[in-house]
Amino acid sequence: MKLPTDHSNALVRRLFSFWAPTTRSMRGWAMASVVVNAGIAVTGAGVRVTGSGLGCPTWPRCTPDSFIPVPHPEVSMLNMLVEFGNRLVTFLVLAVGAACVIAAWRMAPRRRSLVGLALLQPAGVVVQALWGGLVVSTMLNPFTVGMHFLISIGLIAACWMLYARAGEGDGPPRRVVHRDVRRLGHVLVAAVFALLVAGVVVTGTGPHSGDVMASRFDLDIEAVARLHADIAYVVVGLTFALLFAVHVSDSTRAARRAALALFVVELLQGVIGYTQYFLAVPAALVLLHVLGSTLVWIAALRVVTSLRTRDPVPAPHSPTEVPATV
């Protein structure tokens, strides 16, 4: 019987490559998972800036008596479609996550490290779906909305690690740069995460709450925006230090390129951030800023994984025969 992986059409073979995975296709599915998880973070921001956070006022149904958008006297159909569309993206994320699990499971030889990382994806989708219900039931409380984004950030990290580990062996991590440079990379990733958390606080304090009924953090927007900017300066400074370190030391080309890419993305994100600040936070720039945030995070993860590698686990040697003694 002819399998989809034997189909003459290259696109069909790629779509079903999870059934007969190679290292290349495993990494391809992992990267696809990075993309769709970043995409749902951006579409979630689209829900918020269009005021569609309660477009589907119930969960898991869109309305009390329907799973799909139907005319509702208190909710705009456009808002319902935007929120429902974001919910549909969840199924795409789940499908790609399931493909990753199947591919990791059917890899020959099977690698437990890849299976474990792949399983985090469908588990994370379930957590996100349940948390989404909490977001609706709390009327878009800024804490629950912010955690929704941060869970996506955690899933992106798991997906990126799956991508990185699929191209490595299962031996112990081996640094490819100076020890202090690798430590600087870890500090940088922690700083980027702190920057994202600060950004969530700014978002929960400022406009674009997702609905007029949503609450806001009772904080001074100017103060939290300044804090966010200060952490951004720290992140850029650390990135520049890392970029300088990998260029003057005996580092790999991959590490140098990853550090440069992160620095460029941060500068572009800074331009977007200051532009939206001076233009009173227009909705379109909020979407770009959320996209930039996910790209900064992915680029930071790329940096830290470029600073080490893992060799294949050596095959066990047969015991050496000891000559008999008389």
96 Cβ contact list (under 8 Å, min separation 6): 29, 32, 33, 36, 121
**CA distances from residue 124 to 23, 51, 98, 152, 224 in whole angstroms, order as listed:** 24, 26, 12, 8, 29
Separation of alpha carbons 89 and 125, rounded Å: 11
Share of the chain above pLDDT 90, in %: 61
Counts for the chain of helices (H) and strands (E), in that order:
9, 2
Separation of alpha carbons 310 and 18, rounded Å: 24
| pLDDT tens by residue, 165-196 | 999 998 888 989 999 999 999 999 999 999 99
| pLDDT tens by residue, 10-27 | 666 677 788 889 999 999
Structure tokens at 265: 């993305």
Reported pTM: 0.90
Enclosing H/E stretch for 31: helix 23-49
Burial class (CB in 10 A: 0-12, 13-18, 19+), 168: middle
Q: Which long-range contacts (CB under 8 A, 24 or more apart) does 105-113 make?
A: 106/18, 106/19, 106/20, 106/21, 107/21, 107/26, 111/170, 113/165, 113/170
Helix 77-106 and helix 142-166, axial crossing angle in degrees, nearest 10: 30
**CA distances from residue 15 to 7, 103, 281, 317, 322 in whole angstroms, order as listed:** 11, 12, 40, 39, 53
The residue type of 206 is G
Question: Does the pLDDT value for residue 320 go beyond 60?
Answer: no
| pLDDT tens by residue, 211-234 | 777 888 999 989 999 999 999 999
